[in-house]
């Protein structure tokens, strides 16, 4: 397979190709590994396997990023490692085990969602003991290592000893032991904690089955920082922000420990005053203009924060939330009533029932509604059903203590006029996610969730590109006008809906037929749209449903300095510059990537969307599309395709704050299907910031840069070039992160 997208080779070999004894896997080898693994797990027929292989090899349908990395390996066949196959998780924070579970999930590459509302964290024990902690030794000190954490509690001398084991479980158990000791009443209010990290493997050792190499740079910080948080809470229960900090401190260690990026979602109650200001003034400037981050809250950067509304928000609250997000990137509203209604679609079959249920939910009477209309439901089941509003890190999945598998159809590779081709693609996507429903989880709370509420998510990317190819430049002109309700606009909307409804039906029909055949409970929601930043680069799709940044742009992809993949990029003809983090002693950005002070590279790649040459398309400035036009398109997808939630990053200007706040308020008030969306400030002078991930360029500049790439190139075989730099090196990264979004890389 020869990748067509100019960004594909750098991203594929950086993120999805595993190092083997014979070198890095080719795309064909990755397909063979992952399809064999999923076909075996899913007990696919030969016809199903052929369909899946064809769609994946041709880059029309891709499994989750985690499955591309770990699928088909020996590691993932162990039930304790099943979570490593999932990008999407959510956990209710109701006991110390939940904290440990989320650290375990993060170490396996999962994105971790957490509900930190009073009905959960108020179940946590009181922090009884003030802790004095000493961390002894350094990773690699012990010649004979212990794999398992050893914890010794000496109540008589008010001392606890923890020897951190050299394994994922060892790290997690040590973290759990610390939390447990803080609330252990046998220590009578005070204890000395001695932690030995000498058994932990030192930096640079290979992680044989999971992939990547060890980097325990922050293992000591975990204990010092967590003790600092716990000591502030002595004599009481933790508040929501303290809970959040404890989770995020563990996430910070995992990032340093070699999961490339740790994605998180923290859901707080709408009335939680502590959470509402948790990230306010996180960055602080001194009198000389120098910026610093508040060290006590640094870990909060590990996750997005969302406010859960169990009653419909007021207009003032909606506008205030939009304004806060514009200036800080935080404080999104989640309307839980719509989320819970969607998560009970098996009962709320008719629209009238759904509207009636949401009305009851808004008045705090949802349990009464269930008892009235479904008297056969047990109270425990009603409670579980009403808890299905947990979100994964980018907000596209809803559920309760869940894992959800994802797949993705790349619409930009499909012919809008070939319905059979589209049907094959969405069938393959549905089979890909359904196979993982065969997993039986070891942890009871996740196993029970899977049994009560099995969920999957078939997503797509490149929807905007697909519709440009389907409807032409007139559709772009309609966008430019704000997607008004003109006769032509209404006709476009009907056609959009026809595609979206057809795809949704294919997915649900395929998943349900598979489940019926294999004796599995049918999921009641199977479709979503994920952010799809990294995987979109494999085919050059505009991410998710979003419009592209421009018809043509420079895409900058981050690597560490002298990374073999980045060196191969240079041979391939791409230019390399130092990242924004590399500066001289005067604060000026470095210009020479080989400067000894440089630590990180940006590979610069000229990119054009697949419809850039459409006559008249260059006259449309997609960066000028209004936020209300974006919202309108989002709601088309949300209402006619998505049965979970549509991950969205709406870009807005200051002048659009009030209008968007009012639109969100009305969408919730009128039960249009809105749950939540992320917002990102848009500035017309954005390109005054240097070396951003996206830099729009005109056609002449694009053609000039492409010619320069061709002139610099000394090979057209990327993998061969890479093999010359891979010799004797270990693979640093351990596959994709649990969040596949470019939002993380955009300035806020």
Query: Is residue 142's pLDDT more than 50?
Result: yes
Which of 397-401, 614-618, 655-659, 725-729 has the weakest average pLDDT? 725-729
307, 276 Cβ separation under 8 angstroms: yes
User: Does the pTM of the predicted model rise above 0.75?
Assistant: yes
**pLDDT bucket at 736, cuts 50 / 70 / 90:** low
Q: What band does 208 get if pLDDT is binned at 50, 70 and 90?
A: low
Give the model's pLDDT for residue 296.
86
**pLDDT confidence band for 169 (50 / 70 / 90):** very high
Confidence of residue 143 (pLDDT cuts 50, 70, 90): confident
Judged against a pLDDT cut of 70, whether residue 747 lies above it is answered with: no
pLDDT for the residue 159: 98
Average pLDDT of 582-587? 84
- Non-local (6+) Cβ contacts of 305 within 8 A are 244, 266, 268, 275, 278, 279, 330, 331, 332
What pLDDT does residue 48 have?
Answer: 98
When pLDDT is cut at 50, 70 and 90, the band that residue 735 belongs to is: low
Q: How far apart are CA 421 and CA 426, in angstroms?
A: 9
Structural contact between residues 249 and 100, judged by C-beta atoms closer than 8 angstroms: no
Query: How far apart (Å, rounded) are the C-alpha atoms in residues 421 and 55?
Result: 10
Instruction: Dump pLDDT digits (tens) for 299-356.
Output: 888 889 999 999 999 999 999 999 999 998 888 999 999 999 999 999 999 999 999 9
- Give the list of residues 6+ apart from residue 502 with CB closer than 8 angstroms, or none: 419, 422
pLDDT band at 748 (very low <50, low <70, confident <90, very high): very low
Q: Coil, helix or strand for 440?
A: coil
Angle, in degrees to the nearest 10, between helices 240-256 and 219-231: 170
What is the chain's alpha carbon radius of gyration, rounded to the nearest angstrom?
Answer: 25
Count CB neighbours of 655 within 10 A. Answer: 9
Query: Percent of the chain scored above 70 by pLDDT?
Result: 93
Tokens 């999921």 found at: 523
Q: Tell me, what's the pLDDT at 743?
A: 44
Least confident of 133-137, 179-183, 251-255, 613-617: 251-255
Q: CA-to-CA distance for 423 and 504, rounded, in angstroms?
A: 10
- What's the confidence (pLDDT) of residue 260? 43
Taking 70 as the threshold, does the pLDDT of residue 740 lie above it?
no
Residue 356: strand pairing partners? none
Rounded alpha-carbon distances, angstroms, from residue 195 to 133, 134, 143, 258, 544? 7, 6, 17, 22, 45
Residue 298 pLDDT:
84
CA dihedral 476, 480, 484, 490 (to 10 degrees): 0
- As to burial, measured by CB atoms within 10 angstroms (0-12 exposed, 13-18 middle, 19+ buried), residue 707 is exposed
CB 236: neighbour CB atoms within 10 A? 11
Q: What is the mean pLDDT of residues 622-642?
A: 97
Picking from 171, 162, 227, the residue whose alpha carbon sits closest to that of residue 200 is 171
Burial level of 422, CB count in 10 A (0-12/13-18/19+)? Answer: buried
Q: Calculate helix-pair angle for 487-518, 419-434, nearest 10 degrees.
A: 40
The 10s digit of each residue's pLDDT in 258-298 is 444 588 999 999 999 999 989 888 877 777 766 777 888 88
Is residue 264 within 8 A of residue 112, CB to CB? The reply is: yes
Pick the closest to residue 111 from 282, 261, 231, 318 (CA basis). Answer: 261
The stretch 542-557 carries a mean pLDDT of 95
Q: Of 700, 708, 646, which is closest to residue 673 (Cα–Cα)?
A: 646
Q: Which of 72-81, 207-216, 416-425 shows the lowest mean pLDDT across its residues? A: 207-216
SS3 58: coil
In the predicted model, what is the mean pLDDT of the chain?
A: 92
Residue 144 pLDDT: 87
Task: Give the integer Cα–Cα distance in Å for 746 and 744.
Answer: 6
What percent of the chain shows pLDDT beyond 90?
Answer: 82
Q: What is the pLDDT of residue 688?
A: 57
Provide the pLDDT confidence category of residue 203 given band limits of 50, 70 and 90: confident
The CB-side HSE value for 263 (13 A sphere, CA atoms) comes to 24
Q: Is pLDDT of 133 > 90?
A: yes
What are the respective helix, strand and coil percentages of the chain, to the nearest 5?
45, 15, 40
Let me know if 16 is exposed, middle or buried by CB neighbors in 10 A (0-12, 13-18, 19+): buried
Mean pLDDT, rounded, for 665-678: 98
- pLDDT of 573 > 50? The answer is yes
């Amino acid at each position: 397979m020869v990748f067509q997208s100019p960004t594909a080779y750098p991203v594929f070999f950086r993120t999805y190709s595993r190092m083997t004894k014979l070198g890095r896997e080719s795309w064909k080898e990755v397909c063979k590994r992952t399809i064999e693994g999923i076909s075996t797990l899913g007990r696919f027929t030969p016809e199903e396997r052929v369909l899946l292989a064809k769609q994946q090899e041709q880059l029309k349908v891709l499994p989750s990023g985690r499955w591309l990395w770990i699928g088909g390996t020996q590691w993932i066949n162990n039930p304790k490692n099943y979570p490593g196959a999932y990008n999407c998780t959510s956990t209710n924070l109701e006991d110390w085990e939940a904290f440990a579970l989320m650290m375990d999930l993060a170490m396996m590459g999962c994105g971790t969602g957490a509900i930190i509302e009073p009905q959960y964290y108020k179940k946590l024990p009181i922090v009884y003991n003030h802790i004095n902690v000493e961390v002894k030794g350094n990773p690699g000190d012990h010649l004979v290592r212990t794999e398992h954490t050893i914890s010794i509690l000496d109540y008589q001398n008010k001392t606890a000893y923890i020897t951190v084991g050299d394994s994922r479980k060892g790290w997690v158990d040590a973290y759990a032991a610390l939390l447990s000791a803080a609330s252990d009443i046998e220590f009578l209010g005070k204890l000395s904690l001695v932690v030995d990290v000498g058994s932990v493997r030192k930096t640079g050792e290979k992680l044989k089955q999971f992939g990547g190499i060890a980097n325990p740079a922050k293992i000591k910080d975990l204990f010092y920082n967590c003790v600092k948080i716990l000591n502030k809470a002595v004599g009481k229960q933790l508040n929501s922000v303290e809970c959040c900090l404890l989770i995020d401190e563990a996430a910070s260690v995992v990032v340093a420990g070699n999961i490339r990026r740790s994605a998180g979602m923290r859901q707080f109650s709408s009335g939680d005053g502590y959470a509402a200001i948790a990230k306010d003034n996180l960055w602080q400037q001194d009198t000389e203009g120098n910026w610093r981050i508040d060290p006590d809250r640094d870990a909060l950067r590990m996750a997005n924060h969302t406010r859960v509304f169990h009653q419909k928000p007021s207009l003032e609250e909606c506008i205030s939330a939009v304004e806060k997000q514009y200036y800080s990137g935080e404080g999104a509203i989640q309307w839980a009533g719509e989320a819970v209604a969607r998560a009970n679609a098996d009962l709320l079959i008719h629209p009238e029932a759904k509207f009636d249920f949401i009305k009851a939910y808004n008045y705090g009477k949802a349990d009464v509604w269930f008892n009235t209309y479904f008297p056969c439901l047990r109270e425990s089941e009603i409670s579980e059903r009403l808890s299905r509003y947990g979100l994964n890190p980018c907000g596209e999945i809803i559920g309760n203590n869940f894992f959800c598998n994802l797949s993705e159809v790349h619409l930009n590779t499909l012919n809008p006029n070939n319905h059979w081709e589209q049907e094959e693609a969405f069938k393959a996507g549905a089979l890909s996610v359904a196979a993982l429903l065969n997993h039986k989880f070891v942890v009871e709370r996740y196993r029970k969730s899977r049994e009560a509420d099995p969920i999957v998510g078939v997503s797509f990317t490149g929807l905007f590109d697909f519709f440009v190819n389907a409807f032409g430049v007139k559709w772009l002109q309609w966008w430019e006008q704000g997607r008004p309700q003109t006769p032509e606009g209404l006709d476009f909307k009907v056609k959009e809906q026809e595609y979206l409804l057809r795809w949704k039906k294919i997915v649900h029909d395929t998943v349900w037929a598979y489940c019926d055949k294999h004796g599995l409970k049918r999921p009641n929601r199977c479709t979503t749209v994920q952010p799809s930043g990294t995987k979109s680069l494999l085919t050059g799709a505009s991410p998710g449903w979003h419009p592209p940044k421009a018809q043509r742009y420079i895409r900058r992809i981050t690597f560490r300095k002298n990374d073999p993949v980045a060196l191969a990029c240079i041979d391939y003809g791409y230019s390399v510059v130092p990242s924004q983090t590399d500066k001289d002693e005067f604060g000026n950005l470095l210009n020479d990537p080989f400067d000894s002070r440089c630590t990180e590279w940006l590979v610069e790649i000229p990119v054009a969307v697949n419809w850039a040459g459409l006559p008249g398309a260059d006259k449309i400035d997609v960066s000028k599309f209004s936020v209300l036009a974006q919202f309108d398109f989002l709601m088309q997808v949300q209402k006619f395709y998505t049965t979970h939630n549509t991950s969205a990053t709406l870009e807005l200007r200051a002048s659009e704050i009030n209008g968007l706040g009012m639109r969100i308020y009305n969408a919730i008030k009128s039960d249009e299907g809105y749950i939540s969306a992320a917002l990102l400030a848009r500035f017309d002078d954005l390109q005054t910031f240097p070396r951003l991930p996206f830099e729009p360029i005109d056609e002449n500049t694009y053609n000039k840069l492409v010619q320069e790439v061709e002139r610099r190139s000394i090979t057209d075989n990327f993998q061969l070039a890479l093999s010359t730099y891979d010799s004797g090196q270990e693979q640093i990264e351990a596959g994709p992160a649990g969040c596949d979004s470019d939002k993380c890389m955009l300035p806020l």
